[in-house]
Structure 1
């Protein structure tokens, strides 16, 4: 007999929640089905094949304390705040069926008077006088014997902040991987003004229990304080929160940029693989190009980040201390361009 479980996270840390999701999915027996409800505070979540430098304003995110989290599934970049609810449905095969979990979400929202419908493969929408408006996006993952469907529900998300952190200014950055597709979106509080996270959780749990005729299921609360009960949690959380996963897992891309300084013009060509500069070419018309040539050589193998650039700068300054002012100016510019 299939065991039905409902889990609710008591953390709003995206790295915690995504680590919990992956651990539960990997460790659950194939005769279980799980509903996991959670929220992330101030986070940009990207798909596993996306480039954060292309999708996000990483410098603005760092300034405002907004986390970057790469999920295990595909799809586009989204901004999460506490006006957003996340859900995950997991089940063993052959029971796993994303059409079923989608219907459960729609059944839940119908209890609040929201007439939603599925639109295409990934979105849930409502129709109003402005046309079709998206309030939920989804992504999926399957293995040989199980699958999961996770997604978001926009309740009262701050749409202005979404614009602050996504859609960076165009750069000469040629990136492989998946680019987000932008949609017309709507918060459900425009339909049900009082809607909040607890209301969503209540109706989601009701609809889930009703669908599977499992009225006696107890809610399990997941928190960082109780994480020791999760197998290999520390290892998984360390990976989920690491630069290597969130930035370093980026597919290969090229970045071309140029600027004119008081000391001369500089053209920069970078090949970046998994967040590390594999090849760097810097061209300049300055009178003594040796410091710039040395800088290019030292960039190879450096992290494509502010930390990586500053480490290269310190090494080159040690070799060319008289050129520190030039190197400071070059690096300050480079950091603004890759952030």
Structure 2
């Protein structure tokens, strides 16, 4: 009886606070036994597209050696492609923004999938931190997408993440560095001097490190167990757990089609122009490389490669500049609706616009 009264009070409090949906959510956990990055990314898309409207889901997975680039990044300027081929390292491109990262079996990758109205980055981060407590690690959030732990001489970054949403749902995914080979990470990623200078200025207090630096017994299997327990504990509910195998996944037509799309040359390498004007800079919204193709003074085609965390924003900018005069007044005029619709990003957008104008003139 006491438990019933307690639940009723919590239920009424949630109703009065407008948080009733929190208590009505169904939970589901997906575990992948595949180490293929393209299949895991396709699985993530498949789950995202088929998520029940009232469901929170957690997908846990890992990849064999892979460089994973953001949706709007240029593989030729981000990666040492020849070395990757020699060493049999996969190239994969995700559908979210952000920068290039290295995956190996020392990573645990997570994806939180939620109905859009109840999506919360803060909640997801809390679930991760609660899982880390089982290994004696206290996590801290920093910057736009970094998770850190404190070491003797400063902070260490052990996780980065990216986000995506559509009309009725959202997801947040990232990697937890457990005991990855950090030396290999550096050998496959190319360093942009401007980005390096900006990174040193913004993040000098934190360097990339493995959680095993302070939690010697951390392993993928143990992290999976901790994440599932924390996920269930946070939402005060048990969850259905579905184990996904590579063979069974490829028997699903929608998933197989998504897998084929993500392994296609057009998705991984295509859409890189023979460009007339190529500009590159590191700004507060991220690193930007823009290739313009100009004909008769108009922008006939362009590509924006960036680790900006807002992929739909990049698409808005691309659409706004396409088929418009290639001059500063046109850029200023066509940026205004974008700035108006994203007031929280106004300073970064004005900086980006000013840089484009400067390079045109």
Report the counterpart of residue 78 of structure 2 in structure 1: 55
Question: 5+ residue gaps in structure 1?
Answer: 171-178, 257-270, 279-339
SS at the partner of 2:128?
helix
SS in 2 for 1:232: helix
User: Match of 2:245?
Assistant: 223
The CA distance in 1 between the partners of 2:60 and 2:51, in whole Å, is 16
After superposition, residues 122-271 of structure 1 pair within 5 angstroms as 122-167=145-190, 184-215=207-238, 217-228=239-250, 230=252, 232-250=254-272
Other-structure match for 2:139: 116
Q: Is the 8 A contact 1:23 1:231 kept in 2?
A: no
- Structure 1 residue 253, shift from structure 2 partner: 5.7
Q: 1:93 deviation in Å? A: 2.5
> Secondary structure of the residue that 1:205 maps to in structure 2?
helix
Task: Pick from 9, 18, 36 the counterpart of residue 41 of structure 2.
Answer: 18
Number of aligned pairs?
Answer: 252
Q: Judging changes above 3 Å, is the alpha-carbon distance between structure 1 residues 40 and 253 closer, same or farther for their aligned structure 2 residues?
A: farther
Pairwise CA distance, 1:2: 2.2
Q: CA deviation at 1:23?
A: 1.0
User: Runs of 4+ in structure 1 displaced over 3 angstroms?
Assistant: 179-183, 228-231, 249-256
TM-score by length of 1: 0.69
Please give the secondary structure, in 1, of the residue aligned with 2:137: coil
**In structure 2, how many angstroms separate the alpha carbons of the residues matched to 1:155 and 1:113?**
14
Q: Which residue of structure 1 lines up, in the alignment, with residue 31 of structure 2?
A: 8
Contact 2:116 2:165 in 1 (8 A): no
Separation in 2, partners of 1:234, 1:169 = 36
Contact conserved, 1:138 with 1:151, CA < 8 A, in 2?
yes
Determine if contact 1:49/1:250 at 8 Å carries over to the other structure: no
TM-score by length of 2: 0.65
State the distance in 2 between where 1:34 and 1:126 align: 26
Contact between 1:56 and 1:166, CA under 8 Å: does it hold in 2? Answer: yes
Per-residue deviation, 1:250: 5.0
Larger proportion of helix: 2
Stretch deviating more after TM superposition (129-138 or 54-63):
129-138
Structure 1 residues 196 and 233: CA distance shift in structure 2, 3 A? same
Equivalent in the alignment of 1:64: 87
Task: Provide the rounded CA distance (Å) in 1 between the counterparts of 2:61 and 2:84.
Answer: 22
Report if aligned partners of 1:49, 1:251 keep a CA contact under 8 Å in 2. no
Please tell me whether the aligned partners of residues 110 and 174 of structure 2 are also in contact (alpha carbons under 8 angstroms).
yes
**Post-superposition CA distance 1:30-68 (Å, at most 9, x none):** 211100000011000000011111111001001110010
Shift of 1:167: 1.6
- Check 1:13–1:167 CA distance in 2 against 1; reply closer, same or farther (3 A cut): same
**TM-aligned CA deviation for residue 168 of structure 1:** 5.5
Q: Which blocks of at least 5 consecutive residues in structure 2 are unaligned?
A: 1-23, 279-290, 294-300, 302-361
1:118-168 CA-partner distances (Å, limit 9, x unpaired): 112201001112212100001001112111000100000101101110125
Larger radius of gyration: 1
Match among 61, 65, 88 for residue 111 of structure 2: 88
